[in-house]
Amino acid sequence: MNRKNIYLFLCVLGVVLPYSQFIPWVMENGLHLGLLFRQLFANRISSFFGLDVLVSAVVLIRFVRLEGRRLRVRHLWLPIVGVCAVGVSFALPLFLYLREPALDGAGGPAASAPAAKP
């Protein structure tokens, strides 16, 4: 299995697993953002996870913008929308998937490494 297919599979997991919890919550509570944030920060451990994901999302958006421009990755808006619509679990593998053609076109990681001397 190549890297692109692995990233695509991780995109699917990144949507299915979080939404398997979020959709039943929305069905029970509606899209009540105040309640969502109260429950997200209800205790120290849930706050730990919530803040970790929020910081990771900000870092990922910055990484997507910088790395995407550097490699001229197409459709950079998709991972940013993915962060907002699903989260880091979807947006990161999506960006890595979108980045693969740019890496292949640049010769991949080996092309940037200096050649071994005989």
Question: Tokens 């990681």 — which residue?
Answer: 109
pLDDT digits (tens, 9 = 90+) for 27-80: 999 999 999 999 999 999 999 999 999 999 999 999 999 999 999 999 999 999
Structure tokens at 115: 């050649």
Using 50, 70 and 90 to split pLDDT, how confident is the model at 104?
confident
pTM: 0.84
Q: Cα–Cα distance between 82 and 70 in angstroms, integer?
A: 20
